[in-house]
Amino acid sequence: MNRLKLTVNEEKTHLCRVPAEHFDFVGYTFGRCYSQRGRPYLGTRPSKKSIKRLIGKIHEQTDRRTCLLDADEMVERLNRMLGGWANYFCLGPVSKAYSTVDRYTNRRLRRWLCRKHKIGSGGYTRFSAEYLYKTLGLVNLPTLTSSFPWAKP
């Protein structure tokens, strides 16, 4: 490291025994994963920190200060954000992460629509999943995994 004139960040650098332990690097968690049959393997998945960061961005995007935006414009912004995140995090078992982000996005978008239209309820009857996905065109993250070339039909 000295020959390359690089310094090591002591707070972030640590030794890890894979597969017993896991570590985070460039937004992914590397370590032991399990197949659907329960067999362990070394793999990657989106880190909890990257999921929380995306959820924070969704929260900020659907804040009540943005209620003056058109619903189509809001969905377009969310789709750009979700699509970019999903394109980066498409390696390893991503279904749980996609489902978590999708549920949160649905809840926040419904809440945003209720505030925009001054509706007092949670909006599940008026703004159904069909309305969000088909009418507004929101990206459905869990269905994206079926389009991966390595996914089984």
pLDDT, one tens digit per residue, over 91-150 is 888 889 999 999 999 999 999 999 999 888 777 888 999 999 999 999 999 888 766 665
CB contact set of 57 (below 8 Å; sequence gap of 6+): 81
The token duo for 93 is 């078992």
Residue 144 or 38, more confident: 38
Three-state DSSP class for residue 150: coil
- Beta-bridge partners for 12: none
* Band of residue 29 on the pLDDT scale cut at 50, 70, 90: very high
User: At CA 40, angle to CA 38 and CA 42, rounded to 5?
Assistant: 145
Output b/e per residue, 58-68; b: 16+ Cβ within 10 A. Answer: beebbeeeeee
